[in-house]
Structure 1
Amino acid sequence: MSAAPAAPTVALGDRFARTLPEMAVPWQAAGVPEPRLLALDDDLAAELGLDAAALRTPAGLGLLTGTAVPEGARPVAQAYAGHQFGYYNPRLGDGRALLLGELTDRAGRLRDLHLKGSGGTPFSRGGDGFAAVGPMLREFVVGRALHALGIPTTRALAVVATGRPVRRETVLPGAVLARVAASHLRVGSAQYARATDDRDLLRRLADEAIDRHHPAAADAPNRYLALYEAVVAAQARLVARWMLVGFVHGVMNTDNVTLSGETIDLGPCAFMEGYDADAWYSSVDQGGRYRYGNQPLVAEWDLARLAEALLPLFAEEQEEAVELAVAALGGFRPAYDAAWLGGWRAKLGLPAGLDDAVATALVTDLLDLLQAGKVDLTSFARRLSSAARGDAEPVRRLVLDLAGIDAWLERWRATGPDAGAMDRVNPVYVPRNHLVEEALAAATAGDLAPFDRLVDVVSRPFEERSGLERYAEPGPAGPYVTFCGT
């Protein structure tokens, strides 16, 4: 008989709590009546130097729910502010989350271990602080997909059912998400620090962001301006990558914009199918502020709010600080355009020497065709490599304007596209919305098999596999709505 797995061995630091105590409220996770593991990312556990088998033990579930943290750990609820749908709230914070602490992964990187759905905190604003199984599993599968697509993102280490019913529109089974991030420093963190009028706190926050995420800024003549420029560039690249795969975040409030450049808060997000610049899915985004085509503009707006928060660090004189901030924010659009066009060059397999103006015209004319016919973005991009190999029919079948697509294909094929290179960047599989809902509904009812299958599929998005045809096809026509789960 083999020995039972040992309890997980993990050392959790309290760096955030020590460095920024004004923004950390010591707190404990709520008890978990009947913990049951629903999902665990074994690969992520290995990256973190954790034993996946140990995480499956009762002690491991205690760590993953915050009910049995290692000796010396100091869980805290983080304070931050934020603009929510354009309106400023000076005190948001972790209303249903806890930072358990930081750990060093096998590559020597410091990573946050953070909970979501762990109960009420002083920032809960009347909420219960709990979460339901469905939204937590959505974060798991979408985070897994984004990571597999090469998009910087927070990632779910585990989802644990709590055995506690959660009342939302109806009564649902509860769960806790264990999330891993480069950090949870956000635009809203800087806004909170600035609102305190404590320049030392603002400086310490900026120094922490430099040290953890943008160390090159430390050697710049103006380290805080260099930090801002680095965040602007990181967010420009991130949003461009979202756009290239049709990802719609759904809630791009300033408290959901990280200083690291990772995607965070995968609640009401969705992957667009029929190409539509005005697509949005979030039930809480009544006016479509965060629609697909508006995401770059919103990111730029959010970064302007970061500049306002950091302004005292840029220069002693406000007029000079404003000039520096405006110039730095002006770097967003060129950085975004370069990342977006570079991504589309790869998706279309265009040769490196092709003039930017020619490449841009090819992309914009193609998007006009996709928009007019609401063509499925993922299917079209993937099938386009067949056209590069001489068979255009898989692509033509997707487009209503045959004359338009034929003329475009002729121009595109004249550039000599590389089909193999295209297959390396255009996914076969993304988390199709109807399949996500199907998997979450089954999991909520107690059947994890569809969820596990979906996770496996999106974890290898570029590798076409036999028997998975339904995972590569768009869902039924009709409106689709996502919910944040609060």
Structure 2
Amino acid sequence: MLSLQLQSHYTNLPDKFYSYQRPVAVKNPSLLIFNDSLANSVHLPKMNQEKWVSILSGNQVISDTNPISQAYAGHQFGNFTMLGDGRAVLLGEFLTKGQSIVDIQLKGSGRTPYSRGGDGRATIAAMLREYLISEAMYHLGISTTRSLAVVKTGEKVQRELEQEGGILTRIAKSHLRVGTFEYAYQYGTIEDQKALTAYAIRRHYPELEETENHALELLKKVMEVQADLIVNWMRVGFIHGVMNTDNMSIAGETIDYGPCAFMNSYDPQTVFSSIDTQGRYAFGNQPRIAQWNLSRLAIALLDQIHPDPKQAVEMAQAVINSFPKIYESKWLNMMRNKLGWEGAQDADQHLIDDLLHMMHKYSADYTNTFLAIANRENFDSSLLDSFEFQEWSIHWMYRATIEGRALDQAIEKMKGYNPVFIPRNHMVESALSKASQSNDFDQFEELLKIISNPYHNNEKFTAYKFPPVGGDLGYQTFCGT
């Protein structure tokens, strides 16, 4: 008897929001990696490896549960599309000892009614990427879905080349997306829309249940958590790569690690995704796209915000129009923290803009520049050798020690906001290649260890602190489907 007790509150929604779907069994599953720390933190029951493999491969469905695939839509690169879980099955919702609810989902578990011609499967390399990067984001202090395990299916998956198949188990606050609300708006009744809004508030923001206008307050809340999330992405140089509305979580978590990467040389126009040919989701565009995505959520909520269409638009527009000011305030405070400053000064924006301009001009490494400022080290950077940077440093030091504050205090503060280690793209690719093609997990495990303590300067792993010789020229990431 399996001891994993799962709930299914999502199926209390109208049945158009989901389809009952069992995972498709695989031939010869084996466990590649299991996240014991995550399992312990959400208080999953102790089970032997054989039981976990049978569940996480989809070969055994827990008794008294009804797995589902969720229906949703989304704007992909600006174009509206009907979507849904094309290769994912939600096993159920787990109630932790802390009385919070998390989703347990299998990704790569076979075809569903929403597969749209896809095979419903995933490659080991793509699933290991999500495992690795989602753990990096978690330890960087950024809200994210997390990965419990990766199972090798024992079956081949055809992409550009034939690859080994894998299934990821994802833990999330929920899998509610902006695209879920777009789906309800386009294909559901007003009663369906209200049911979804009530569910989202009950699940994530119960403090809103007493408010007068649930839909409007939900829009404000999602905007707030998304602003926090994007600011954190910008703090560490993370590029999501595919910020479609179906990849924007209502809970404010980073979700769906497809063609994601981390920026090395600072350039706001940095794009690594092979499918983002126009740079829509470039590093510097992420705040603007977040606002655009939120405007799609606002449209989906219009009928609930006010019965008069004109008033509904005016109320929603006022919320969306407030995003740039909210974001800029959060971003400016984040940059002050990265530079070790306290309080706010009128010249802060100018000083920050000057630094970023110089970093772009000299193609300086985003992560290491802030470490150099804090540690007074020269990472063999033309920026750090320049006269203009030396002059800027005098202004930084004056700002950091304003009102008699010790410089050491500023430097100590910087350590909490500037990681020493990020998942350098070339190291990620090397680790994934060895693990997926040769079953050699040594570098993967080493990288996991490093990114599990990213703010600690471990001298043993100095090689992981630097970008590759020649930078990321020509580097691309791929969607994996």
Kindly indicate whether the alpha-carbon contact (under 8 Å) linking 2:2 and 2:62 is maintained by their aligned counterparts in 1.
no
1:380 corresponds to: 369
* Structure 1 residue 296: Cα displacement: 0.6
**Identity within the alignment, %:** 40
3-state SS of paired residue (2:378): helix
1:362 corresponds to: 351
1:469 counterpart letter in structure 2? T
Mapped to 2, the partners of 1:197 and 1:14 lie a distance apart of 21
1:369 counterpart letter in structure 2? M
Mapped to 2, the partners of 1:456 and 1:396 lie a distance apart of 27
Q: Does 1:404 align with 2:395?
A: no
Work out which of the residue numbers 203, 218, 234 in structure 1 matches 2:225: 234
2:413 counterpart letter in structure 1? A
Work out which of the residue numbers 424, 430, 434 in structure 2 matches 1:432: 424
Distance 1:394 1:26, change over 3 A: same
1:413 corresponds to: 397
The structure 1 segments of at least 4 consecutive aligned residues displaced by more than 3 Å after TM superposition are 395-398
Compare 193-202 and 61-70 and name the one that shifted more: 61-70
* Structure 1 residue 106: Cα displacement: 2.8
1:468 corresponds to: 461
1:456 corresponds to: 449
Work out which of the residue numbers 254, 257, 267 in structure 2 matches 1:263: 254
1:479 corresponds to: 474
2:269 corresponds to: 278
Mapped to 2, the partners of 1:361 and 1:8 lie a distance apart of 60
Q: Does 1:81 align with 2:81?
A: no
Mapped to 1, the partners of 2:167 and 2:351 lie a distance apart of 46
Q: Does 1:123 align with 2:151?
A: no
Work out which of the residue numbers 38, 41, 47 in structure 2 matches 1:44: 38
TM-score by length of 1: 0.94
* Structure 1 residue 65: Cα displacement: 2.1
* Structure 1 residue 279: Cα displacement: 0.2
Q: What are structure 2's unaligned runs of at least 5 residues?
A: 402-406
Q: Output aligned runs, 1:246-257, within 5 Å.
A: 246-257=237-248
* Structure 1 residue 12: Cα displacement: 0.9
Q: How many residues align?
A: 470
* Structure 1 residue 400: Cα displacement: 6.3
2:434 corresponds to: 442
Q: Residues 74-95 of structure 1: CA distance to partner in whole angstroms, max 9, x if unpaired?
A: 1111000110001111x20000
Q: Output aligned runs, 1:36-435, within 5 Å.
A: 36-51=30-45, 54=47, 56-89=48-81, 91-352=82-343, 354-355=344-345, 357-387=346-376, 393-394=377-378, 397=381, 399=383, 402-415=386-399, 416=401, 417=407, 418-435=410-427
2:404 corresponds to: none
3-state SS of paired residue (2:80): strand
Kindly indicate whether the alpha-carbon contact (under 8 Å) linking 1:373 and 1:401 is maintained by their aligned counterparts in 2.
no
* Structure 1 residue 446: Cα displacement: 1.0
Distance 1:475 1:115, change over 3 A: same
3-state SS of paired residue (2:371): helix
Q: Does 1:26 align with 2:20?
A: yes
Kindly indicate whether the alpha-carbon contact (under 8 Å) linking 2:364 and 2:381 is maintained by their aligned counterparts in 1.
no
* Structure 1 residue 288: Cα displacement: 1.0
Kindly indicate whether the alpha-carbon contact (under 8 Å) linking 2:18 and 2:69 is maintained by their aligned counterparts in 1.
yes
* Structure 1 residue 397: Cα displacement: 3.4
Kindly indicate whether the alpha-carbon contact (under 8 Å) linking 1:217 and 1:227 is maintained by their aligned counterparts in 2.
yes
